[in-house]
Amino acid sequence: MKVLVVGGGGREHAIIRKLKESKGVTEIHATPGNGGMYKDAKTVSIGAKDIDAIVKYAVDNKIDYAVVAPDDPLVLGCVNALENVGIPAFGPRAEAAIIEGSKVFSKNLMKKYGIPTADYNVFSDANKALEFIKTAPIPTVIKADGLALGKGVIIAFTREEAIDAINSVMNDKKFGSSGDNIVIEEFLEGPEVSVLAFTDGKTVKPMVSSMDHKRALDGDKGLNTGGMGTIAPNPYYTKEIADICMETIFLPTIDAMNKEGRTFKGCLYFGLMLTKNGPKVIEYNCRFGDPETQVVLPLLESDLLEIMQATTNGTLDSCEVKFSNDCACCVIMASKGYPEKYENGFEMVIPEDIEKDVYVAGARYENGKIYSAGGRVLGVTHVNETLKGAIDGAYAKVNKIKFDNAFYRHDIGARALLATEEK
Ligand code: AMP
Ligand code: GLY
């Protein structure tokens, strides 16, 4: 079976590597992929948002099954467009991808169906938002409605910061039209957990839980990034909490989407906060997380293509989704200066014996060598029986990679390790 993966980051590389293990896969194409994937897929320079070109490529190359990984093409209807030409695809159709595409939609969905989340108000008028904030409890959280590359969330610890945030999102249009509407919501506290789940719109099969590290610097300091590293499983996510989440969040969400006529198929990402009052949804994503995928999929023992096809065909209930009991840690090697200004074009030398555990997020290929191209560049994963072993192993691999402009956090998994030891 010829498979096309839409997207080009480390998450897509992890999906491609896992698909290579699937019995039914004969060829993997990636649009656009990146230069670091040259041993694993045929990369084609078509942007992930260029839906027409993706569909044409898929038809011309007789693609049997497509996997649409990033949020943008999903929200823009890439799955709908592929289905229209008879190519089945993994991921939600646009009408379901709105669960990530619009925070106003997802907040209203949760309120309507009683799914636990932070209290909130929606504003389309900046003056009304500014009036509201005069008396709102502080800290508070301000979210642009639409997609904003993971940067549309501002946590304001003072009233002045909240006013600045409203002005920059609604009046100065910092995130363009994504900020036409905003959500102002209650500030929640507690450990955060990412749970990715396969679903065919009837059955939900959660994957192993994980923990992201969003801040750029050690000790959770510095700016928010797309994610500087992950560990799995997340020690805060006990069996008891998992059962509560299934009953109060996962199944009710699938049910709510069906009732709205927006059946969700694919991977639904639950960003959860474990508060004193129980688990609450911080955000939904309509796709695999990045870099959560780089720790979750290496632990998957079942056939990824079969699972993906089962979500498309509505047969997930009879499909095995099994994870190993091991732990995984992924350390992101970024370009110095990320997430702000950084330089590209540095040669990266990855020893052959660890190549299979390095997921390339941004690279250019030239004459058998790869050069950095992007903010987040490599994800280095290690799997071990213990979390400590996984963390130590990931950093040992990082130390073997030659990449002059590299910058990474030194404490990925440290908090999780403390939580494990406290138990
Ligand atoms: P998001 O872009 O929705 O993933 O949000 C980015 C980060 O902002 C989350 O990972 C949380 O750490 C934080 N965050 C979002 N909403 C809230 C909230 N209501 N209370 C506290 N922190 C939040
Ligand atoms: N790592 C967070 C995300 O993929 O949105």
Tens digits of residue pLDDT in 357-371: 999 999 999 999 999
Decide if 387 contacts 405 (C-beta within 8 A).
no
Domain count across the chain: 4
Are the CB atoms for 129 and 123 separated by under 8 Å? yes
3-state secondary structure of 381: strand
Do 229 and 153 have their domain in common? no
Residue 142: nearest ligand to its CA?
Answer: 1
Give residue ranges with CB within 6 A of ligand 1.
118, 141, 150, 153, 155, 185-188, 192, 214, 271, 282-283
Measured distance CA(271)–CA(193) in Å, rounded: 6
C-alpha 173/C-alpha 396 separation (Å) is 43
- pLDDT single digits (tens) 273-291: 999 999 999 999 999 999 9
Cα 398 to middle of ligand 2, angstroms: 22
Beta strands per DSSP E along 41-94: 42-43, 65-68, 89-90
Across 101-114, average pLDDT: 95
For residue 103, tell me if it sits in a domain: no
- In what helix (H) or strand (E) does residue 217 lie, and over which residues does it extend? strand 215-217
User: What's the CA-to-centroid distance between 31 and ligand 2, angstroms?
Assistant: 20
Helix runs in 237-344, H state only: 239-245, 251-259, 293-296, 304-313
Ligand 1: atom nearest CA of 118 is: 19
Q: Is the CB of 100 under 6 A from ligand 2?
A: no
Based on the fold, state whether residues 277 and 306 are members of the same structural domain. yes
pLDDT at 423: 61
Average pLDDT over the chain, rounded to an integer: 96
Using N-to-C axis directions, what is the helix angle for 159-166 and 126-133, rounded to 10°?
170
* CA of residue 108 relative to chain centroid, distance: 22
In a domain, 187, yes or no: no
Please tell me the distance between residue 12's alpha carbon and the centre of ligand 1 in angstroms. Answer: 24
Domain region containing 388: 327-422
Q: Is the shortest distance between the CB of 326 and ligand 2 below 6 Å? A: no
341 and 360 in a single domain? The answer is yes
